Amino acid sequence: MNPVIPPATGQRRIWLRVGTLLDGVSTTPLRNAHVVYDKNQILFVSESSPPADLLPAGQRQPDYDLPDYTLLPGLIEAHAHLFLEGGELDPEKRTAYLRQTPDRLLSLAHPRLEKLIRFGIVAVRDAGDKVGVGLALSRLSANAARPLMPYVDSPGAAIQHRGRYGGFMAEPLEDFCSPRECVEARVKAGAGRIKLIPTGIIDFKKGAVTAQPQMTTEELRELVAAANSFGKQTFAHASGDTGIDRTIDAAVDSIEHGFFMRDDQLARMRDRRIAWVPTIAPVQKQFDHADVIGWSPATISNLSRILDHHAASLVKAHALGVPVIAGSDAGSFGVPHGLGFLYELDLMQRAGLAPLAVINSATGTASNRLAFREKFGQIQPGFLSRFILTRHSPLQTVANLRKHKLVIFDDAILHCDETADVAGL
């Protein structure tokens, strides 16, 4: 039987005792841990019982004693394109989807929001679009009257060079007289952070990033400095040897994708506290759907080699102390929102990370490093009451996060399982 836990309110506090608690940052779980929360925030977390002043007069036992359950923070999807539908595999339909009006793309994105909560995702760092969908959802998320939806933070349009990769989600630096003016325009439009596109993408047939980087180190430094002057973090799409070097030299806050990362680059990222969002899923999906795409045996071999190198780099990054943050690039080919993120977590475990390290990458590491406006992603006093309760231990395998779970989101309680509606994701 699953517990029937009533919603917390501003006055009604809930006291849980759970067999296992993962706080999002610790490298060992708490056992037989106590949590007290109301609809606004977590009030107490400890392996000891809560103090009497947090409880109704005379209460001596938890409201719910759940020794077989694990409690963990709600998940943070750190790289998704909310304006795209990722589950569609037909290239012609994907192209036609992008031809729709901005209003239509926004209306199609809205139904994804509650579905993400049902996957246990309580926050999304949108990775950019030039039609205003991410910014509109970010504004909605900041509204006190918002519907049931994750926190959303968006950069609006990413920044690229005209004619280079990224035109479907970016606007060119050449539209402005200087990098600072470009960044200032993004900030005035409502950007929560600044998305940069210093490199192109992988040529899978050749098994490498073949195009030269589209931004110089000096340009990147100017863009980062401008963002910092407005109090905004930067995140950069970067793969390939030279492009990653330039991005590290510019001291961005996080590198997205990062394929073909060298060991010395990982060490420099650690020293500069540059986070890495490795986004394994979109390349893995190229391998998974090679028959649909029509990849040749040589290209499939390239994909396998690229994925093996990426997995080895991920394990090295974690061992070195690089802040590794989970993000799926949902919306890209074959990577649906929600399900694609859970697949990304599974791929991170398959690459060699322990389940607890994967969970921390999707919760507390993102919470600590990405400077969100709200406090979530950790089970700590003062953080929002947004967490997952499950009897299917994610410490055995993160794939268990697909199974039945309760998602507590402020004053909402959702029973979520593998039968979730995935249409339009």
Query: What is the amino acid identity at position 57?
Result: A
Which domains, and CATH codes, for the chain?
14-74+377-416 (2.30.40.10), 80-369 (3.20.20.140)
The 10s digit of each residue's pLDDT in 105-150 is: 999 999 999 999 999 999 999 999 999 999 999 999 999 899 999 9
The 10s digit of each residue's pLDDT in 204-254 is: 999 999 999 999 999 999 999 999 999 999 999 999 999 999 999 999 999
Q: Provide the edge-to-edge strand list for the sheet that holds 14-21.
A: 42-46, 30-37, 14-21, 64-73, 386-390, 405-409, 412-416
For the record, the structure tokens of 262 come out as 């060298």
For the record, the structure tokens of 217 come out as 């180190």
For 190: left if phi > 0, alpha if psi spans -120 to 50, otherwise beta; the answer is left
Provide the pLDDT confidence category of residue 417 given band limits of 50, 70 and 90. Answer: confident
pTM of full prediction above 0.85: yes
Cβ proximity of 156 and 189 under 8 Å: yes
Taking alpha carbons only, the member of 309, 166, 187 closest to residue 240 is 309
The 10s digit of each residue's pLDDT in 242-254 is: 999 999 999 999 9
Query: What is the amino acid identity at position 152?
Result: V
